Amino acid sequence: MSGLKKTAATLAALVGRYRGLITGVAIYRIGGWIFDNPLWMWAEFRWQQRGVAVMMAIAFIINTLLLVTFRNRKTDFILWNALDSVSEKQSEYHETYREWGKKKTPFKFYLLLVTYIPVKLAIFLLWCLKKSPKLGDVAAFLILPIIEDPFITTMYLRHGHENGLRKKDYAVYFLSSVISIGYWAIRNAAVVELIIRPAVKLF
């Protein structure tokens, strides 16, 4: 078998072995992005405070259902390669920031808000994780609710514990929910009220 065929066979075997993992990651990421961005912004644009309140409630319910469902399981399909992919793209986001500095247009402000800031937080989290476990846990508690969600934050800080939810897990989950939902409400309000609504009024 030639080198090319061996490589193809190896890749096919890996895809076959981790098909469920890859599918889980794709569904979770795509679904999360749709909910956090176009769906939430549309609800806020259409119904303002009532839309935000409904989206906040739905976000809490979804994360709670995920936590209850996966409380006794491993969550590799969610945590798989998330921070690594962010760190690999940091040069792209540095360029976004430089472009914002040169020309502060509404679109570049949007890019800065939704890409550069979360990536900088993720890079800082990676640094903390390498520095010390305790510092990494504190940073994860504060940052993961922003760049991921309360479910992932809680599962990460369980550190492999699979026997039900402890009091500590409940505390982490509820506090990280406040951080996460608060961040998304403020972030999407900035996009809708400073960019989308003014733009729509121009037409």
Q: Which residue, 151, 150, 149, 159, is CA-closest to 129?
A: 159
Residue 97, both tokens: 């920031």
Mean pLDDT of the chain: 79
Find all residues with CB under 8 Å of 51, minimum gap 6, and list them. 42, 43, 44, 45
- For residues 179 and 142, the answer to whether their CB atoms sit within 8 Å is yes
In angstroms, the CA 60 to CA 116 distance is: 25
pLDDT tens across 85-121, in order? Answer: 555 556 666 666 666 667 667 777 777 777 778 878 8
Q: State pTM to two decimals.
A: 0.80
pLDDT score, position 92: 61
In angstroms, the CA 155 to CA 132 distance is: 19
- For residues 164 and 72, the answer to whether their CB atoms sit within 8 Å is yes
pLDDT score, position 129: 84
pLDDT score, position 178: 97
Q: With pLDDT > 90 as the criterion, what percentage of the chain qualifies?
A: 38
Q: What is the pLDDT confidence band of residue 22, given thresholds at 50, 70 and 90? A: low
Domain-by-domain residue ranges, the chain? 32-201
pLDDT score, position 154: 92
In angstroms, the CA 158 to CA 16 distance is: 29
CA 112 to chain centre: 16
